[in-house]
Structure 1
Amino acid sequence: MNRLGKHFICLSPLALAISSTPALSHDSALPAYLPESHAPAGVMADHLHQQGEWMLGYRYLRETFSGLYSGSHKTTAAAAGHAGYSMVPTTMTMEMHMLDIMYAVSDSLTLMFMPQTMSMEMGMAMTGVSHDHHMGGMGEMSGMNGDGMGHDMDMHGSHSHGTSGTGDTVVAGLFRIVDNRGYKLHGTLGISAPTGDVDLKNADGTFVHYGMQLGTGTWDLMPSLTYTSGHNRLSWGAQANARLPMQEENDSGFSFGERYGATAWGAYRVADWMSISTRLGYTKQHDINGHYNGPHNHASPSDLQGNYGGEFVDAALGVNLVPQAGPFAGVRLGLEWTNSVSAHYNGYQLGRDDGLNMSLSYAFD
């Protein structure tokens, strides 16, 4: 299973835009609110605000996974069975809901606060290959009704289980580096606080899969550098970012690997109230360090640290909408569909299908 969406971390998962208007614009009659002045919906920490301005926003992410992969190739449950696993994941859906609250202390410094909730649902199936030394993993089959877990099982040895609750909380500062007529450049320094659970267990007392925990359990450093520019109806930009655990292990004995990402996009204003965008993103994530410090299963790939992380390239198509008049003037809605272009998975993991990013925000002073 893959956790990139969760971190995104997206912060998944999770680009760029212009602070308030494109860096270069020569339209004779600009709309009151430029739809292309914000990044695609899948990008966070993309713009600053003017001194004293607030922004209240809501973000939603949904990602789906299916099919079993090893490295860059699709594989089978039987192959995983012969590799020593008695069960494999078959599908997964991950959803994130996040508040996006920003306040500009000055024209050069904007503060950001982002609490979130997470939910994940995974389907599992038997590989058909018996392994006596993995019988401890049958704890997965015994029901998951405590600690926010749900469980359904059929007579063919397949079942589904899920987790949900509060995720990690991000606090960040966005600071301006360059702001001229040609381009804009700003940095972001964020900290992710470990407010999400990392000790969720199955009904038999064993830890759930690493990737089904709701947070990282560590204090993480989240820096990024964002470049944006534009001309007339066009805007474009690029961002480099990272998520770096600042602790060797969390209270459950492990830490998720470092994640590095880069993304670039372009947008075009097709109407005063709408822009369309394309985006390409690259992510590299290391596998898990450490090990659960309590009872846990080794029955499926999702139970082992080496089956997390990899290198991924995604493409996205998006639209930004902002009414120019009426009661909803200035309310921004961004929608973005993402899909995997290429992927190289560490070990055995579910394949990344597509995803949906949504952002809704309103700025005021």
Structure 2
Amino acid sequence: MRSAYFYVSTLSSLILFSTVTQANPNHGQDVNPASHAPAGVMAEHTHKAGEIMIGYRFMQQNYDQLYQGSEKITHQQLTQAGYSMAPTSMTMKMHMLDFMYALNDKVTLMLMPQYMSMDMDMTMLDSGSMQHDMGDMNHMDDMHDMHTSHQHGTSGWTDTQVSALVNLYQNQHHQVITNLGISLPTGSVDEKNSSGQFTHYGMQLGSGTYDFVPSVTYTGHLNALSWGAQLGANIKLEDENDSGFSFGDKYHVTGWLAYQVLQPLSISARLSYQTQEDIKGHYNGPHGHSAPSDIQANYGGQFSDLGLGFNYAQQTGPLKGVRLGLEWQTRVAQDYNGYQLGLDDGLNASLTYAF
């Protein structure tokens, strides 16, 4: 088991060191809309000493197509793989509160409680479908409406992130910051279905483990043009949670380019890549095995997404300091582990006020 004490000690030492270090007199948040990353990027900016930011973030992701690896598959193919239930669609919504306080010009503390809801549509597969013509795939997909279908979901508070964002370097046009964070296991991992069994692994509300969530972010700007990149991870610090398993480690890299089209408005384009390991361990109580989402090997993979969005920053009047960001995101390449319901598109939104 990885030691959480090492990461917590490192985080505490760096905060203490940075607090007593002389602040950077050139540090300060730009008031132009491109001074923040697109709405789908978090932990990418710091604040001036004593500044407070409160914010609300929203994320929605829509899943609606079955994949094996990088290829779309039909219900017939899933039946041949031995499954009797198939997910047909899923919607995940996340509501995040974002509180930031700058100890000084070098260190900004962040607290992010989160609330999640997930709804999944399932259909029972027809075992007799294996007798149909293998070439008649379109007909087989149409037949799923005749199968027994149902919807189920979970909702509640999920894990809470606490972080220190440290300003490593800054001049007039460039900034490098690091985020050292811990995700606290405040979300439930013992959600049950109507029969009293554990629900699908991916529909649990939290990870159930303490997680180390570091990142390094570079941003730059010149006149109306701004850009940035972030490298980050979510590393499990425990081998299993109270329900007997742990989600796989995640690693991501993303880069973006933004252009200020009006004084308060910028538009952006972003590419991201993520890799995630499958689930380790196994539920320590009764659970099903009829759907792909019941099997640990059907989690994780490698994914690439495209995001298009805008930032609006109010620069004058009583609403000065209010910033709104919206970003639409879609998956452009994927290689899923095993059989999975793939991401179609999603929405990221951010509304913040700094004072």
Q: What's the TM-score once normalised by structure 2's chain length?
A: 0.86
Structure 2 residue 162 is matched with structure 1 residue 176:
no
In structure 1, what is the equivalent of residue 90 of structure 2? 92
Shift of 1:127: 1.7
Deviation track 1:188-233 (CA, whole Å, cap 9, x = no partner) reads: 1000000000001112221000000000000000000011111001
**1:342: which partner in 2?**
333
**% identical aligned pairs:** 58
Tell me the residue number matched to 2:345: 354
Partner of 2:182: 191
Paired residues of 2:125 and 2:147 also in contact (CA < 8 A) = no
Q: Would you identify which runs of 4 or more consecutive aligned residues in structure 1 move more than 4 Å?
A: none
SS, match of residue 213 in structure 2:
strand
Q: 191, 195, 215: which is aligned to 1:200?
A: 191
1:121 & 1:261 partners in 2: Cα distance? Answer: 26
* Contact 1:263 1:282 (8 Å CA) reproduced: yes
Counterpart in the other structure of 2:274: 283
Classify the secondary structure of the residue corresponding to 1:106. coil
Residues 19 and 38, structure 1, Cα contact 8 Å, conserved in 2: no
Is there any run of 5+ residues in structure 2 with no aligned partner, and where? 1-26, 129-144
**Gaps (5+ residues) in structure 1?**
1-17, 22-32, 131-153
For 2:186 and 2:173, the matched residues in 1 are separated by 40
Tell me which residue corresponds to 1:314. Answer: 305
| Cα deviation, residue 329, structure 1 | 2.2
Q: Deviations over 1:116-140 (max 9, x none)?
A: 100000000112127xxxxxxxxxx
**TM-score normalised by length of structure 1:** 0.84
Alignment match of 2:252 (pick from 248, 261, 267): 261
Aligned match for 1:58, one of 51, 56, 59: 56
Deviation at 1:182, TM superposition (A): 4.3
- 1:81 aligned partner: 79
Inter-partner Cα distance in structure 1 for 2:324 and 2:226? 17
- 1:273 lines up with 2:264 in the alignment: yes
Q: Of the candidates 112, 115, 126, which is equivalent to residue 113 of structure 2? A: 115
Which residue of 2 is the match for residue 237 of structure 1? 228
Which moved further from structure 2: 121-130 or 42-51? 121-130
Q: What is aligned with 1:293?
A: 284
Q: 1:352 and 1:288 mapped to 2: Cα distance?
A: 19
Aligned partners of 1:271, 1:67: CA distance in 2, in Å? Answer: 39
Shift of 1:325: 2.5
The answer for the alignment partner of 1:160 in structure 2 is 151
How many Å separate the matches in 1 of 2:28 and 2:278? 35
In the alignment of these two chains, the number of paired residues is 313
Q: Distance in 2 between matches of 1:314 and 1:180?
A: 31
Question: 1-side partners of 2:174 and 2:42: how far apart?
Answer: 19
Aligned CA-pair RMSD: 1.3
Deviations 1:6-61 (A, max 9, x none): xxxxxxxxxxxx9623xxxxxxxxxxx21000110001001000000000000000
| Alignment correspondent of 2:210 | 219
The answer to which of 296-305 and 328-337 deviates more is 328-337
Cα distance in 2 between the residues matched to 1:292 and 1:307: 15
Alignment correspondent of 1:4: none
Residue by residue over 1:145-167, the C-alpha shift from the partner in whole angstroms, topping out at 9 and shown as x without a partner, is: xxxxxxxxx98411110000001
